[in-house]
Amino acid sequence: MKKREDIRNIAIIAHVDHGKTTLVNEMLKQSDTLEGHSEISDRAMDTNDIEKERGITILSKNTAVKYNGKQINILDTPGHADFGGEVERIMKMVDGVLLVVDAFEGTMPQTRFVLKKALDQHLTPIVVINKIDRPGSRPAEVVDEVLELFIELGADEDQLEFPVVYASAINGTSSYSEEIDSQEHTMVPVFDTILKTIPAPIDNSDEPLQFQVAMLDYNDYVGRIGIGRVSRGSIKIGDQVAVLKLDGSAKNFRVTKIFGFIGLDRVEIQEAQAGDLIAVSGMDDIYVGETVTPVDHQEALPILRIDEPTLQMTFVANDSPFVGREGDFVTARKIEDRLRHQLHTDVSLRVEDTDKSGAWVVSGRGELHLSILVEEMRREGFELQLSRPEVIYRDVDGVMSEPFEMVQIDTPDEYTGSVIDTMSQRKGEMKNMESDANGQTRMTFLAPSRGLIGYSTEFLTMTGGYGIMNHTFEEYLPVIKNWEPGRRNGALVSINAGTSTTYSLQSVEDRGQLFIGAAVEVYEGMIIGQNSRDADIAVNVTKGKNLTNTRASGKDHSAAIKTPKAMSLEESIEFLNDDEYCEVTPTSVRLRKKILDTNARTKADKKRKKG
C-alpha cells in the first residue's frame, strides 16, 4: 500500500502540567521550521491569556515542524478531563501519540484518561519521560508504571513495544538513556523516534474525497472554519463539494479557502491531499463529525462521538443594586448572543432557555470548563450572575444515574485520616492507597461528582496547601439516594447598604470568616463572610463608632481586623448554596442571596422549611 513518507501526524497527550506545551515549543525551536530571525515565546502554543496564566491548555492547537525534509504535524491537546471532548476527536486525525509523563509524578488520572482514548483508536505510542532533571525523579519506576497502565488499559502487543525517550523540555534536552548525564541540548532523539515509529499516512489521493471535521474555529470574516484530516482523495480551492450533515441530509458548497499549518502559522494553500491536516472555510453551518465529499460520490465517515456535558449552571443577567457600574455588557440580549457565539467553537457546551427571562441553563464538562467561559466573559466586559453548579442526571437502562469521578489524592501522611473522613462524607469509595518512604500517601477514590462540588477549597485548607487532588469523569452510576451534599456553614449576610467600617467588622469577625475588609461598598443581601455555624446570620457591617468627647488614648489607632479571605471565581462558585448567586463583573466577584430583602428572605426560608 502506497504511503506518504513526507509527513507524520501525531498528537501530544499528557496529564496537566507534565510539559506537553513546553515540549512542542522546543520541537519548534530546534526543527528546520522557523526562520533564523524568528523568536518564539515560552508556551507559544498557549495563545489564550487564561491558558498562559493558569499554565493549562484549553483548546487543541495545530502546528507542524519540518525535520530532515519531512513534515511532522503536531496536535497539542488539553490534559484536563473537562476538555476531554477535544482529545477524543483529535485521535481520529493522527496515526500516533507522544505520551508525555513527568519523571517524578509518574502516571496520573488524566494520563490514564488520554492514553485510553489513544489506545482505543489503536494508535502507535511513543513515551517521553519528561522533567528528567527534576529533584527526586525516578525514570525507571515511571517507565514501569507506564507499562502497567498500558497493560491495564488493554494495549495490544505492538502498542506494548513502545519506544522511550528521556527529556527535559524546559532545558531543550533529550536522550535515549535515563541517565541525567546523557542529556544533550537536542530534540533529535524525539524527531528520529517519531519518523521511525509513527506510521506514514496511506496515500489514496486518487480516490474520491473524504474530509471529516474534528474541530471548529470561527472567524468574523469567513465564518465557521472546519478543521480535520483529509482521509481520502484531495481537495482544492474552487471545488464544488457536499457536506453530509449529522441528520443524514447533504448540503452543497464551494471551497473558498484552504489553510495548512506550518510552525505557529495557518497558511493559505491551494490544494490538500490524503493525510494532510487542514482547515476549510466556505461552509456556514458545518459541525463537528460531518463529512465533506464530492457531490457525485457521497460516502460519510463514521460520526465522531462528542462527550456529553455532566454539569450545569444557570447564567442570569445581573440584577444586583450594583448592576452596570463595572461592565460594558449587561443586557440579557448581549449575554445570550455571547453564549450562542461560544457554541460556534465549543462543541461540548449546551445553552438552553429557561422559563425565566434573562436566564439560561449552561451545561459543560465540569467546573473548570464552565468557570473558564465565565472568566473569558468577564474579561470581555460582561456582567452576569451564576447559580450553584448541579450535576446532570441521566436515565441509563431505565435506572436514574449520576456522574461519578475517579479521584487521585497525593498528600503528606499526617492528613490521610482527614482526607479519608471527608471523602467518605462525600460518598467517596476508596479504591487504592499506597504510601512511600518520603512520607507521602497516594489514595484513589470513586466519588459522585456532586460530592466533589466545593471540595477543593476544603481539601486545600485541610492539607495546609500540601495536598494535590486530580479527578476525571469515570462513568454514570445509579443515583445515591437520601443524600444531599452542600455547604455545612451558613453565610454572614449584610442587612443594609452602605460602606463597611472597621468598627462594625470587628464586632462581626468572631462569628466566622470575613470575605471583605473595611471601606468596601455593600448592599442588602450581599454575603460578606462565612458563619462558623450552620445558619445564615444577618449582620450590620456599615455602622460607625459613636463619637464622644472622651477618648481612650491610642485606642482608635490600634483598631484592626483579621485579613479577610479573598475569594477567587472558582471558590465563589464552589461556596454557593441553592438560594444564592455569584455576581461576576470585569472587576469584582461578589456573593449574594437570590432574595436580597432581609424580611422577604426570612419569610421565604420559613415557608420552605414548612414545605
Binding residue numbers for GTP: 17-22, 130-133
CB atoms within 10 A of CB 435: 12
| Residue position matching grid coordinates 479573598 | 566
Alpha carbons within 13 angstroms on the beta-carbon side of residue 195 total 17
Report the C-alpha gap between 461 and 593 in whole angstroms. Answer: 25
DSSP calls for 129-174 = EE-TTSTT--HHHHHHHHHHHHHHTT--HHHHT--EEEEEGGGTEE
CA distances from 505 to 500, 508, 521, 564 (A): 7, 5, 13, 10
CB atoms within 10 A of CB 580: 23
Please state the residue numbers annotated as binding site: 17-22, 130-133
Angle at 573 between CA 594 and CA 89, to 5 degrees: 125
Report the C-alpha gap between 51 and 191 in whole angstroms. Answer: 26
Report the C-alpha gap between 435 and 415 in whole angstroms. Answer: 12
Report the C-alpha gap between 154 and 152 in whole angstroms. Answer: 5
DSSP calls for 439-457 = SEEEEEEEEEHHHHTTHHH
Question: Coil, strand, or helix at residue 308?
Answer: coil
Residues 223 and 284 sit within 8 Å (Cβ to Cβ): yes
